[in-house]
Amino acid sequence: MKHKFIHIICFTLLVAGLTACTSGSKKTAEQRYTFNNILDIAYTPDTLHRCYGWFTDAGSWMGFTLPEKAQWVNGFCGPFSLDMFRRQWMAQSAVTVDFAGNASASFIPDSTCYFPGELYMSAHSDAGSITQRLNFADASTALLRIESDKAEDLLLTGSQWGKDVTVTVEQNSVIARHPSGESVTVTFTPDVTLSRTENNYTALVHSPRYPVHVAISFFTSEKEMTAGLQNIPTLLNNPGKALQANAERWEGYLTKILRKDMKPEYDRIAVKAVTTLISNWRTHRGGLLHEGIVPSHAVGYFVGFWAWDSWRFSAGTAKFDPELAKNNIRAMFDYQQPDGMVIDCIYTDPSENNARDSKPPLVCWAVDEIFTHTGDTAFVAEMYPQLLSYYKWWYEKRDHNRNGMCEYGATDGTLEAAAWESGMDNAIRFDNAVMLKNDRADDAWSMDQESVDLNAYLALECKLLKKFAGLLNVAFDGPDYSDKVADYFFDKQLNFFFDRRLKDGSFIEEPGCEAYTPLWTQIATQSQVDSMLPILQDPAKFSTYIPFPTIAADNPKYNPRGYWRGPIWLDQTYFAIRGLRNYGYHKLADEYTLQVFDRLNGLKEGAPIHENYGTHTGERLKAPHFSWSSSHLLMMYDDYGK
């Protein structure tokens, strides 16, 4: 934990044009207030579905944005329903704030800010200034805090409720119902005069004693709403308890991940990564039986749990939220098949789950990271039988010629699903692959090539399963080919690791990121790594502006926007950098780490962390607010200088 704390001084009178952010606290030692505008999420909704990122926390399925200053609304925008199958603004703003005698006057924005775990906004009119803050109390409810420099009555109302939303007033709550069963509730303290006006409400706060607290909740069913509303009076009677818990949770996150010896701009990257991971946290819902982390809340098709994504997220969060990391793993194993297979991805609607393929096996690594940070042998014991079953599945269903070297494959015999199983959907190394039926089961198919990354992962899984077996004092009875993998896949002529064809054992000589994996898993020999170095350090191939692309940059098939055919994926860049560090190239690893930190577009500013990046430009590509990029940035930050 850093020993220097920044005390935020809250001004009492805001003036037009002020651009600096403040927490609004009188005094605070919270580290989060040193990271103002950690992400730019300003957006005033003008369509039913569009946006590019939200403020969301605590596993919630709702999100908010800050209003754009050019399209000001004097309230936080939202909530937005974040599920893949129900993505809609429930309101432009469920709560806007005005002075009761100020109906014809407009507010001029002063400042807006996204701190980790908190939104802040301030604005003024001729009648006075109003500041607002929003924090999540739990997965269902966000707590709005309102303050002003005037003791005048306040008038609160909703703005532009979403399509098909019906608003009613019941006791101290406004209930905005959608035909899907989802609802938003806005709950006030009993002293507030609440009334319904057409399909909206007004809430009059008489002679307010600041701060004024309002609970904004989101529920997925009438039953959930009925139960959830029973907890709101307790929250509003003692809002400080929930706010303190929120502050302590975020302080805990930052204390656990921040180093004392890093530059502030690199601390900011780490905090942005944590903020991104937490914004992608979703509590259990429907077919998702445990909480977990989605790849990106900002992109509808990424609102589910994927296997190797989840392993990365769990490894990344183990240090600062190990319980979330554990549950993310449990969520995927809720759908483990009888033969041991862990399926590709799962959703709130289980009919959409994909069991045509698995994903690369990294789960023992994630469990080991959790054990490293917690010493929780009970969790290891809980997971061990399932981990071992999954490990054995690869050799049972994905080893075509039974030589101990596995292939990516599919349950349905399609190359599409087999490429998905690799995690590298359109990788150049698979351009000429064909599918082969395995003789052990009707649902067992393999590509006609053995993959170096898959077998390197399996070697690490084997090593860790043996470690877990030792911890639990049980015998490890799985296959072990780990000492054969490095030599089997290393081409001594080209000094590089490649996949091999089943038909003749020839190497698929398309130098790519799969070769980083033996370095990361530490199965390569020192001499192999030393001989690879000229290729890895070649600026025309892998030592590019952003280092370690998915394919050598001088490959004729290289495509700068080709998904797995050229761009930078930060997991692969991390594997390469950590791999170099593993073999003694610490200075080189640090140099490459700083190239990532200093050159990725917007990384040290307010831009979101993206799915992938331009190899020669650092430009942001594909999905924003991306979890696995965030996990691996945290790992690079933690490894630097070590």
DSSP letters spanning 466-510:
HHHHHHHT----S---GGGHHHHHEETTTTEE--EETTT--B---
If asked whether residues 140 and 198 sit together in one domain, one would say yes
pLDDT above 70 for 1: no
* pLDDT tier at 16, thresholds 50, 70, 90: very low
What is the model's pLDDT at position 440?
84
Bridge partners of 562, per DSSP, are: none
Q: Which among 177, 209, 227 is the end of a domain?
A: 227
Structural domain contains residue 175? yes
Structural domain contains residue 11? no
Tokens of 422: 């690799």
Q: How far apart are CA 307 and CA 536, in angstroms?
A: 29
Length of the chain counted residue by residue: 642
Q: How far apart are CA 71 and CA 321, in angstroms?
A: 37
If asked whether residues 77 and 202 sit together in one domain, one would say yes
- Across the chain, mean pLDDT equals 95
Q: Which among 203, 227, 251 is the end of a domain?
A: 227
If asked whether residues 203 and 115 sit together in one domain, one would say yes
Which class for 480: exposed (0-12), middle (13-18), buried (19 or more C-beta within 10 A)?
Answer: middle
Structural domain contains residue 18? no
Q: How far apart are CA 90 and CA 48, in angstroms?
A: 8
Domains identified in the chain, total number: 2
Q: What is the DSSP letter of 429?
A: G
If asked whether residues 221 and 308 sit together in one domain, one would say no
Q: Give me the domain span that covers residue 126.
A: 31-227
What pTM did the predictor assign? 0.95
Selection from 96, 56, 88 nearest residue 72 by Cα: 96
CATH label of the domain that carries residue 597? 1.50.10.10
If asked whether residues 277 and 387 sit together in one domain, one would say yes
Averaged over 287-295, what is the pLDDT?
99
If asked whether residues 179 and 273 sit together in one domain, one would say no
If asked whether residues 56 and 142 sit together in one domain, one would say yes
Q: Are residues 464 and 364 in contact, defined by beta-carbon separation less than 8 angstroms?
A: yes
Q: Are residues 356 and 344 in contact, defined by beta-carbon separation less than 8 angstroms?
A: yes
CATH label of the domain that carries residue 149? 2.70.98.50
Find out whether the peptide bond into 79 is cis, omega within 30 degrees of 0.
yes
What pLDDT digit, counting tens, does each position of 216-246 carry? 999 999 999 999 999 999 999 999 999 999 9
What pLDDT digit, counting tens, does each position of 161-206 carry? 999 999 999 999 999 999 999 999 999 999 999 999 999 999 999 9
* Cα torsion angle, 265, 266, 271, 272, sign: positive
* Cα torsion angle, 136, 138, 142, 146, sign: negative
3-state SS track over 250-294: HHHHHHHHCCCCCCHHHHHHHHHHHHHHHHCEECCECCECCCEEC
What is the model's pLDDT at position 23?
45
Q: Which residues contact 385 (CB under 8 A, 6 or more apart)?
A: none
If asked whether residues 387 and 477 sit together in one domain, one would say yes
Q: What is the DSSP letter of 198?
A: T
Helical ranges in 68-117 per DSSP H: none
If asked whether residues 152 and 66 sit together in one domain, one would say yes
If asked whether residues 171 and 301 sit together in one domain, one would say no
If asked whether residues 204 and 332 sit together in one domain, one would say no
Indicate the angle between helix axes 452-472 and 363-374, nearest 10 degrees.
40
Structural domain contains residue 246? no
